[in-house]
Chains A and B, each alone.
Chain A
Amino acid sequence: MSERFKYVEDREMFSAARVKALEALLIEKGIISSEAVDKVIGYFETDMGPFNGAKVVARAWVDPEYKARLLKDTPAAVAEMNFPRGMTGVEGEEMKAVENTSDVHNLIVCTLCSCYPWPLLGLPPYWFKDPSFRARSVREPRAVLKEFGLELDDSVEVRVWDSSAQIRYFVLPERPAGTEGFTEEQLAALLTPEAMQGAAKVKVG
Chain B
Amino acid sequence: MITKFEHFAASSLMGGSETLPRSNGDLLFKKLWEDRAMGLAITLSKKGHYEWESFRQELITSIAEWEASHCKDDPSWDYYERWLLALERIVIDSSIISSEEWDSKTKELLNEKCL
**Which residues of A approach B to under 8 Å, CB–CB?**
1-2, 4-5, 8, 11-26, 29, 31-32, 36-38, 40-41, 43-44, 113, 126-127, 129-130, 132-133, 136, 144, 147-150, 192, 194-195, 199-201, 203
Contacts and interface: CB of A to CB of B under 8 A. Distances in A.
For the complex, would chain B's binding face be called helix, strand, loop or mixed by DSSP majority? helix
Contacts of B4: 43, 126
**Best-buried of A5, A8, A147 by chain B (most CB within 10 Å):** A147
A37 B14 contact: no
Given A1-B85, A17-B110, A17-B115, A126 B22 contact: no
Q: Which 5 A-B pairs have the closest CB atoms?
A: A200-B25, A126-B7, A194-B25, A21-B105, A37-B39
A12 B91 CA distance: 20
Given A126-B6, A127-B10, A132-B15, A32 B105 contact: no
Contact of A16 (B6, B32, B102, B105): B32
**Best-buried of A14, A21, A133 by chain B (most CB within 10 Å):** A21
Interface residues of B, number: 52
Contacts of B26: 149, 192, 194, 200
Nearest to A124: B7
Contact of B39 (A40, A130, A195, A199): A40
Contacts of A24: 105, 109
26 contacts: A1-B81, A5-B106, A13-B115, A16-B115, A17-B106, A18-B33, A18-B84, A18-B102, A20-B109, A21-B105, A22-B102, A26-B44, A31-B44, A31-B49, A36-B43, A126-B11, A127-B7, A127-B10, A127-B11, A130-B14, A132-B15, A136-B15, A147-B14, A149-B23, A194-B24, A203-B24
A36 B31 CA distance: 20
Contact of A195 (B25, B27, B28): B25
Interface in B1-25: 1, 3-4, 6-7, 10-11, 14-15, 19, 21-25
A2 B110 CA distance: 15
A37 B22 contact: no
Interface of B: 1, 3-4, 6-7, 10-11, 14-15, 19, 21-28, 31-33, 35-40, 42-44, 46-47, 49, 80-81, 84-85, 87-88, 91, 96-97, 99, 101-103, 105-106, 108-110, 115
